[in-house]
Chain A
């Protein structure tokens, strides 16, 4: 009851009037009553009634909150935070080297930004993550659902279906190799249709639609509480044209970043954004840097930059609070055709299905494998494989 008037969620003008009239605590407001208030501050009776209603709601809310012991201003120790973080799941990317440099995979409750030139694999990674987040817990996944916000129109559902089919096949092989009850049970509900039905797709055609969608996201995530991944592909596209006033753009981007951080924290989901690259003209040479300016660089917790080195794709961990900066090569695979030579395989299971002329290779998630063949891929750095004839 001793709550300060300044902390109430009122219109600024109304607050200013209360201060000038000398009201300091909530108790004083309640004692004065609506008629007295309207006289002293100079507002109408209806407004005074509304004001007191808001006050009473807030006090009621305060009491409930202190009783429950939780809320926005909860105190906790760093040890509790550490334990919480360690228990946090990761969304694996199926590329062991990439998972290693990220410290286990894409982290929940953090924003990860993937930057790269066109064609390097950002959308592929996002589609992959939207499938990987759904892997059942017994296989090492987080068993969540995904929200995919597409601003460029590059979400091609046939490719996602291929990735999902390969993921399901992969899990089937692991289950066959291990023969455990919970694996087989989880596989009953893990199919291409179920994976596709848990990816929620939103298409935003300009930045206004994107802003509106992000305002609606918290309610959506409260209704769909199993969502563990929000992808925005790409965040730069709607903001890079049509902005005469760059300060407006910076302000909108900062607001967007804040909302996404709150969403990531409150709903324990990972937020993945893709960004474009732009040329920065230096004194002697020009370099490629992530778009949207320097201030946007602070928005993401983890930043990955995908780039080319001759014909090899590389991923560099550019910014991370807990992992060191490193670069690894990666590949995007479509299919491994028959006639593959497996040079040396450590600790993997090989299953040859003679009836369909395929060689299936089961990889435990953290193992390196030497694969050569007519696709010319190098060691264990497959982002994804579909196995076909």
Chain B
């Protein structure tokens, strides 16, 4: 760290070099008294140093909420979201998936989680005005092999799903070219993947969506009941790394999670989901839930309040997409089906 570029008293700069302090992080990690002892300076000098260093780190970082609200630039605005490709589903989510933060899609098997994430991988490639981000996607498989046949099916039917987009725009996009598939079956490979390989793709701007299918599979086999501390540590580290990638590159991260049966009533009540009479809740517990911005749950079970007219139009089972928590959405749900062309909501 080149201390000479800072606006500091030369005596302080000399003391910094002598004490062999190499970064702002080291300075802020020490308390005022420790710094005094280490650098042999008075408390007034140390206060001045701390303020200058903090200022250097945080200058121009203040925004008023009004500036955030009025920001229409698609690179920085909070209004910009990743559409799901269906207007009903987008309405449920008030625009789509937020760009900064980890979104979780949880549900029992064959509820449609992989279908939704495949759809997102295609939606992200559309231009901004059609709800996409004009970039590719990374799909990390941790358990099953990547469903390439299904992907091909959905690509061929894109014109049917996205009737709102002109045909020539759809034809120009080479969907298959921009979806990068990674396989990571254990924790170390996954760690390597997100720290090295994905950050490279993100830094080059080649992808703007990361899908992890599924995060629960990584933790199912390796941890017994007594390893909860190690498991929690891994979850927190992965969560923090994904979160920091999301913030740095303004990229949505979608993690697919599995569900487990709940033992106590309170957790189940929050998720309000029942499968064959048992209450289910997303796996990985509160440690993982703390890392999330938004949690969605999908299920195949018919909900009791479904209006009678819904079933008649749709062959195949009707599924439910429910918002469990999100900072900007009330708990709500909508119905959808999985068709040949993809996931479509039912009004």
**Residues from 206 to 223 in A contacting B, C-beta threshold 8 Å:** 206, 208-209, 211-213, 215-216, 219-220
Closest to B57 in A: A212
Chain A's closest residue to B94 (CB) is A158
| Residues of chain A with a CB closer than 8 A to B228's CB | 279, 281
For residue B330, CB closer than 8 A to chain A, the reply is yes
A159 near B285 (CB under 8 angstroms)? no
Q: Which of B174-190 contact A (CB under 8 A)?
A: none
Q: Which of B33-41, B115-123, B146-154, B208-216 contacts A (4 or more CB under 8 A)?
A: B33-41
**Distance, CA A13 to CA B36, complexed state (A):** 10
Residues of B within 8 A of A148 (CB): 65
Contact A118 B286 (CB under 8 A): yes
How many angstroms between the C-alpha atoms of A307 and B267 in the bound complex?
A: 10
Residue pair A203, B61 in contact (C-beta under 8 Å): yes
| Closest chain A residue to B246, Cβ basis | A153
The answer to whether A12 and B36 have CB atoms under 8 Å apart is yes
CB contacts (< 8 Å) of A311 on chain B: these are 269-270, 272
Q: Are A219 and B66 in contact (CB under 8 A)?
A: no
* Residue with the greatest number of chain B CB neighbours at <10 A, chosen from A158, A198, A236, A310: A158
Residues of A in contact (CB 8 Å), total: 67
Chain B residue contacts of A216, Cβ below 8 A: 51, 54-55, 58
* Interface membership of chain B positions 252-289, coded 1 if the CB is closer than 8 angstroms to chain A and 0 otherwise: 00000000000001110110100000000000011101
Q: Closest chain B residue to A307 by CB distance?
A: B266
Q: How far is the CB of A134 from chain B (nearest CB, A)?
A: 11
Report whether B65 and A160 are in contact in the complex, using a CB–CB cutoff of 8 Å. Answer: yes
Contact of B328 among A156, A195, A248 (CB under 8 A): A156
Q: How far is the CA of A9 from the CA of B190 in the complex (A)?
A: 52
| Cβ < 8 Å to B, chain A residues 294-328 | 307-311
How many Å from the CB of A385 to the closest CB on chain B? 12
B195 within 8 A of A: no
Q: Mostly helix, strand, loop or mixed at chain B's interface?
A: helix
A201 contact set on B, CB distance < 8 A: 62-65, 68
A65 within 8 A of B: no
State whether A215 touches B50 (Cβ < 8 A).
yes
A216 → B minimal CB distance (Å): 5
| Interface residues of chain A: helix, strand, loop or mixed (majority) | mixed
Asked whether A189 is an interface residue with its Cβ less than 8 Å from the other chain, the reply is: no
Q: Within residues 217 to 238 of chain B, which ones have a CB less than 8 A from any CB in chain A?
A: 228, 233, 236-237
25 chain-A/chain-B pairs, Cβ below 8 angstroms: A11-B42, A13-B40, A54-B42, A117-B286, A117-B289, A118-B290, A119-B289, A153-B100, A160-B69, A196-B65, A200-B62, A201-B63, A201-B64, A201-B65, A202-B61, A202-B63, A209-B57, A211-B28, A212-B58, A213-B58, A216-B54, A242-B237, A248-B29, A278-B286, A281-B228
Cβ-defined contact, B247 with A241, below 8 A: no
A251 at the interface (CB under 8 A from B): yes
Check A118–B292 contact: CB distance below 8 A.
yes
CB of A344 within 8 A of chain B? no
Cβ-based interface call for B87 (8 A): no
Any B CB within 8 A of the CB of A205? yes
Query: Can you list the 7 inter-chain pairs with the closest CB atoms, starting with the nearest?
Result: A119-B325, A212-B54, A156-B328, A196-B66, A199-B65, A197-B66, A196-B65
Rounded to whole angstroms, the CA-CA distance of A276 and B240 in the bound complex is 15
> Does A11 contact B236, Cβ atoms closer than 8 Å?
no
A236 proximity list for chain B (CB < 8 A): 290
The reply to whether A310 and B64 contact each other, CB–CB distance below 8 Å, is no
Within the assembled complex, what's the spacing in Å between the Cα atoms of A197 and B69? 10
How many angstroms between the C-alpha atoms of A158 and B78 in the bound complex? 8
Contact B247 A308 (CB under 8 A): no
B322 in the interface (beta carbon within 8 A) = no
Question: Please, which residue of chain B has its CB at the minimum distance from the CB of A233?
Answer: B327
Interface assignment of B161: CB less than 8 Å from any CB of chain A:
no
Closest to A206 in B: B244
Given A124-B327, A155-B327, A196-B64, do A252 and B51 touch, yes or no (CB 8 Å)?
Answer: no
State whether A308 touches B57 (Cβ < 8 A). no
Q: B31–A159 contact, CB under 8 A?
A: no
Q: Which residues of B contact A278 (CB under 8 A)?
A: 286-287
CB-CB under 8 A from A203, the residues of chain B are: 61
B196 contacts A by Cβ under 8 Å: no
Contact indicator B293/A153 (Cβ below 8 Å)? yes
In contact, A212 and B286 (Cβ under 8 angstroms): no
Taking CB atoms and an 8 Å cut-off, the chain B residues in 94-125 that contact chain A are 94, 98, 100-101
Does B203 reach chain A (CB closer than 8 Å)?
A: no
Q: Is A138 an interface residue (CB 8 A)?
A: no
Chain B residues with CB under 8 A of A195:
65
Instruction: Give me 14 other A-B pairs in contact (C-beta within 8 A), A203-B61, A208-B28 excluded.
Output: A117-B270, A154-B101, A155-B327, A193-B66, A195-B65, A196-B69, A202-B58, A202-B61, A205-B244, A205-B248, A212-B28, A215-B50, A216-B51, A311-B269
